[in-house]
Amino acid sequence: MEITKREIFHQKELSEDETNPWQNALIQLNEAAKVINLDNNILKILERPATTLITTFPVTMDDGSIEVFEGYRVQHNMSRGPCKGGIRFSPSVNIDEVKALAAWMTWKTAVTNIPYGGAKGGVVVDPSKLSQSELQRLVRRFTYSIISLIGPNSDIPAPDINTNPEIMAVMMDTYSMIKGHTELGVVTGKPIEVGGSLGRKEATGRGVYITMEEALHQQNKQCCDGVKIAIQGFGNVGSHFARIAYENKAKIIGVTDIFGGVYNPNGLDIPDLISYVENSGKRSVVGYPGADPLPQADIFSLDVDVLAPCALENQITTSNAEIIEASLIVEGANGPTTPRADKILNERGIVVIPDILANAGGVVCSYFEWVQSLQSFFWSDDQVNNALSNILIKSFKEVNLYKSRYNIQDLRTAAMCLAVNRVAKAIKLRGIFP
Ligand code: NAD
């Protein structure tokens, strides 16, 4: 009896050590260190985060009871400037995940050559289970718990999974109240009314689109008339990427989210799907009338040109790397591909635009927001989008130059080599204190 692709996906068990994000971040770092022959003393520094803060903090719930939450802020490296990185709210977030995400921020800011180091934060919480006032109290108390680390010159948080501009406004307000003056530059991803930047909301998705366009051009493919795309995750990154690709005539045939998925071989009407999601109580694509249901795992085996994982880590693994049909993967999410899956994809000739390049549009635009906040002088939409596009295209070219210079097979290792070299140079130039 013939085994279908879907059955292969379900038959394979993932080995436990494939999916630890921190272990995977170290594998990627060591791979790059080998290629560029990195000084072992520098490698020792980069293999450890500079600061790891684990906090437990109480929050009063609406019924008067007290819940205690665990939160993290990790600063991986600050040799190139203040630390930068988002805050994630999720019941499954853990310290190894945050350490990996912080390291990836160090590499992302270095690949794009913006003057930051890398950090990340998280709180173990399902915010959908909290009322608005409970959420606000949690955000304020968490901000207070990490206040010794954050600041416009030291460490600047931003939104990530399950956090948003409104939460950033509350973080900025809490910090400002404690310091006694308004400090717009302490967080990015804020609403426009309180120092946010035009273009920031969609910047990550726009960056995913820009890097995809560059890669397709490199493969002598027209972008994007008729290019078929499958997208996992339809939140901030996935939905903005989908909309921009749709506006440029791409055909998005499959989309999944945490609840399920939808499929239309003729292409989904993305603006209509976005408004369906916004108006559906669950904020999900499930039940969208203009499409058939799609099981979540099937997003990887759709017959498409481009696969865009825009949800979370460890989605492309040894269990499904062999069934991917796309010739290009553009990583909207952080860490969606395990190093073992990377090997399979490379052997199969599938090009992967790595997270530290593909989703860097968010942090690049956050950098623009920080600059605007510090100067209290704000840019137009066009200024933001042109500057974003220039930086990402330049970074894409520099990564490709590294790929040929060091005779590297894949873009992830090339991007890592470029980033690690930049950070290593900064460490050497500054020297070790004292
Ligand atoms: P989000 O919370 O807005 O959206 C996440 C989406 O993923 C939702 O649609 C959710 O339903 C879906 N999802 C969750 N689990 C899933 C699963 N098991 N299968 C399918 N879909 C699933 O988050 P976001 O801000 O869009 O972030 C998504 C990814 O992009 C994360 O890895 C994040 O770190 C990364 N990222 C975000 C930004 C940013 O600016 N927001 C910047 C760079 C990288």
CB atoms within 10 A of CB 17: 10
Considering only residues 225 and 336, tell me which one the structure prediction assigns the higher pLDDT.
336
Domain assignments of the chain as residue spans, ordered by start: 50-194, 203-358
Pocket of ligand 1 (CB under 6 A): 159-162, 204, 232-238, 256-258, 296, 310-312, 332-334, 359, 362
* Dist. CA 151 → ligand 1 center (Å): 26
Strand partners, 292: 263
Tokens describing residue 144 = 């207070």
Q: Whose CA is nearest to atom 8 of ligand 1?
A: 235
Residue keyed to tokens 């909301």: 201
> How far is the CA of 303 from the CAs of 16, 127, 212, 225, 265, in angstroms?
29, 35, 17, 16, 9
- State the fold for domain 203-358: Rossmann fold (3.40.50)
Helix (H) or strand (E) holding 169: helix 165-179
Tokens describing residue 263 = 């499929």
What does the pLDDT read at residue 107?
98
The answer to whether the 50-194 and 203-358 domains have the same CATH topology is: yes
**Burial classification of residue 82, based on how many CB atoms lie within 10 Å of its CB (0-12 exposed, 13-18 middle, 19 or more buried):** buried
> How far is the CA of 370 from the CAs of 155, 321, 377, in angstroms?
11, 38, 11
pLDDT in tens, 110-141: 999 999 999 999 999 999 999 999 999 999 99
Q: Classify 315 as helix, strand or coil.
A: coil
Using the Cα atoms of residue 4, residue 226, residue 361 and residue 357 in order, give the sign of their dihedral: positive
What does the pLDDT read at residue 13?
61
Pocket test for ligand 1, best of 9, 105, 107, 236 (most atoms within 8 A of CB): 236
**Residues tagged active-site:** 120
What does the pLDDT read at residue 272?
97
Q: What angle do CA 396, 238, 292 make, to 5 degrees?
A: 130
Please say if the pLDDT value at position 15 is more than 90.
Answer: no
What does the pLDDT read at residue 282?
80
pLDDT in tens, 286-308: 999 989 999 999 999 999 999 99
Q: Whose CA is nearest to atom 5 of ligand 1?
A: 235
Q: Is the pTM of this model over 0.75?
A: yes
What does the pLDDT read at residue 5?
45
* Dist. CA 234 → ligand 1 center (Å): 7
How many helices (H) and strands (E) in the chain?
14, 12
d(CA 398, CA 113): 10
Please say if the pLDDT value at position 9 is more than 70.
Answer: no
Residue type (1 letter), 111: V
pLDDT in tens, 377-425: 999 999 999 999 999 999 999 999 999 999 999 999 999 999 999 999 9
Average pLDDT, the chain: 95
Of 104-113, 197-206, 219-228, minimum mean pLDDT range? 219-228
**pLDDT band at residue 321 using 50, 70 and 90 as cut-offs:** very high
Q: Does domain 50-194 have CATH number 3.40.190.10?
A: no
d(CA 107, CA 49): 13
